[in-house]
Structure 1
Amino acid sequence: MREGWKTDFSRTLVDFGEILSGGPPRDGIPSIDDPQFAPARGIGTVADREPVIRLAVGGKVRAYPLQVLTWHEIANDVIGGVPVAVTYCPLCNAAIVFDRRVDGRTLDFGTTGKLRNSDLVMYDRQTESWWQQFTGEAIVGALTGKSLKLIPSRIVSFRAFREEHPEAPVLVPNDPKMRPYGRNPYAGYDQRAAPFLYRGDYPSNILAMERVVVVRTGGEPIIVSLEKVRNGGHVARGYEISYVDGVASALDATEIAEGRNVGTVEVTKDGQAVAHDVTFAFVAHAFHPEVPIVNE
């Protein structure tokens, strides 16, 4: 487990037996630490239906294509004066954005090469504490128990983003030849019967790899199947979840641009955007086993 880490392994919230090697070593999936951008109107390498993370902070808006983040999983950025970590775990299809500031200190994040519940385990380079991407909580190390603040973001099609914000910055590869950007290294993954490197229980009322919407409420989350939202939306505790058509799966076809249409969602409360993500049912159940998944 130590493998040259300076992490304080005496402090942990989890059983180390739950943490598995995902294959690559630390930083084997390299984070993006000096992100480069180009105006949306000039991007020719991202297809119309491809999913991008739309992020708006401090009056600024940017897009982060999953065709880039699939190969890097973390982008350390600053937008609207706020240091953020834009993260994507392909094995969980979880696209989540965090404020990188903790107790007055700005952290920089990288990949540990580890998984817990098939979800990315990140680390901060300042203390080498380990963080669960799905929850934003430090689970091992000096900062154990600390949590990152979630920043609302949403998946949209690149076409929708470009039409709304033609001049807005879109993340582009620092070196286009570094990885085969646009290709999906997990072809067919979201149509598997079971996830990769997962040892936990499965939900009883929905298939493990079905997509669900997890609404981060500040308390107990709301979890509802994407299929139910697609068939008429969902309202719970003042949160409104609506379906938006025309977004390709990043985890289906070999070429992301050719992925089947799975759509996306918009989540609001009192007209304001709410932090949420569209993930797989097994993930939501693993981290929130006590929360029912609304599926009918």
Structure 2
Amino acid sequence: MRMFAVALTLIAGTASASPEFWEREWPDTDFTTTTITDWTEIMSGGPPKDGIPALSDPSFLAVADESTLQDREPVITLEIDGQTPRAYPIRYLIWHEIVNDVVGDVPVAVTFCPLCNSGITFDRRTDAGVLEFGVSGKLRMSDMVMYDRQTESWWQQAVGEAIVGDLTGTELQTLPSWMESWAQFVARNPDGLVMARPNARRPYGENPYVQYDSSFRPFLFSGELPPHDIPALARVIRVGDRAWPMTRIADAGELREDGVVLSWQAGQASALDTDRIAAGRDVGTVRVRDAAGNDLAHDVMFAFAFHAFWPEGTWMLE
């Protein structure tokens, strides 16, 4: 990986992992309310709070007006009934990790954790009101810890649950969204919308985690590796507490199991392979639906992350 990632490792290694340490940095967070039992799981990812700047109220372009994205570049697609489909390019999310948006009357958080390859869209409405999310700069088992600006509670991105603070135990609703190539989005949604380039100084289109998804071990992770000889950074498709290896779906083309229909199509570049996202190797696109053809909420994540957060989960193997 690049020196960028090496520097983050060195920075993270100097930080203490204890509630007392984080309390000084986060005076408005209630650390007495938490589901964390082992504080060594929390570590600094390098950047401070908001050092990775989440986006809010992004601008959008008509598909026909977007001329920067390459065909194979990955986007997160969000299709909400009655609204124009939207694409959120990973070339932006890899540098910002969270986009707070409103689609129709639904406030959403589109999230991407590069270290887990986890791209999930949440409904931001809770019993405590509509939340706006930022990047805490903390990691737990290599997964991004988000925070809400209203209560400064900490949230685990992979599971969409508050783990520290006033809202501990609150769960966000996960909305169906998926990663696909820009060309696949355009072919299905020629009148769709795509998030415009943010007004920030970032090398959009570049990947700061070169060859990460071909590494043997994940970055900033000391937990147990997956069972069944599954490589730690192999992609799996998580639906609830079940995980299907991407390779199995790609080999079959389509799987129908336990009321879930998973289909694979070539054409999407890995965002975590080469230095230019558009040049990444083809990892394909998976769509996840129920037997009636309705899209299901899911995540395409690395195997180590599924095992870390769902240690009793089911591996859907051949």
Worse-superposed segment, 163-172 or 145-154: 163-172
Mapped partners of 2:123, 2:315: distance in 1: 28
Offset of residue 167 of structure 1: 2.5
Size of the aligned set, in residue pairs, is 291
Offset of residue 104 of structure 1: 5.5
Contact 1:58 1:80 in 2 (8 A): no
> Alignment partner of 2:135: what SS?
strand
2:307 maps to amino acid: H
Aligned residue number for residue 89 of structure 2 = 65
Q: Which of residues 122, 126, 130 is equivalent to 1:106?
A: 130
Contact 2:133 2:148 in 1 (8 A): yes
Q: Which of residues 177, 190, 211 is equivalent to 2:213?
A: 190
> Alignment partner of 1:283: what SS?
helix
Aligned residue number for residue 269 of structure 2 = 248
Mapped partners of 1:117, 1:277: distance in 2: 17
Alignment of 1:225-240 (within 5 A): 225-232=245-252, 233-240=254-261
Alignment of 1:204-243 (within 5 A): 204-205=227-228, 206-216=230-240, 221-232=241-252, 233-243=254-264
Alignment of 1:1-296 (within 5 A): 1-2=22-23, 3-14=25-36, 15-60=38-83, 61-103=85-127, 105-175=129-199, 178-205=201-228, 206-216=230-240, 221-232=241-252, 233-269=254-290, 270-296=292-318
> Alignment partner of 1:167: what SS?
coil
> Alignment partner of 1:54: what SS?
strand
Mapped partners of 1:94, 1:5: distance in 2: 29
Contact 1:77 1:83 in 2 (8 A): yes
> Alignment partner of 2:168: what SS?
coil
> Alignment partner of 2:56: what SS?
coil
1:226 maps to amino acid: M
Offset of residue 169 of structure 1: 1.4
Mapped partners of 1:62, 1:34: distance in 2: 13
Contact 2:132 2:150 in 1 (8 A): yes
Mapped partners of 2:251, 2:48: distance in 1: 42
1:161-217 residue CA offsets vs partner (Å, 9 max, x unmatched): 112222321012222x6100000011110010010001111112101011101013x
Offset of residue 292 of structure 1: 3.1
Offset of residue 234 of structure 1: 2.4
1:15-41 residue CA offsets vs partner (Å, 9 max, x unmatched): 222111000000000000131111112
TM-score (norm 2): 0.89
Contact 1:30 1:110 in 2 (8 A): yes
Offset of residue 44 of structure 1: 1.4
> Alignment partner of 1:201: what SS?
coil
TM-score (norm 1): 0.96
Contact 1:137 1:147 in 2 (8 A): yes
- Structure 1 segments unaligned to the other structure (5+ residues): none
1:265 maps to amino acid: V
Mapped partners of 2:30, 2:298: distance in 1: 31
Mapped partners of 2:111, 2:215: distance in 1: 23
Contact 1:119 1:134 in 2 (8 A): yes
- Structure 2 segments unaligned to the other structure (5+ residues): 1-21
Segments of 4+ moved more than 6 angstroms: none
1:217-239 residue CA offsets vs partner (Å, 9 max, x unmatched): xxxx2211000011113222211
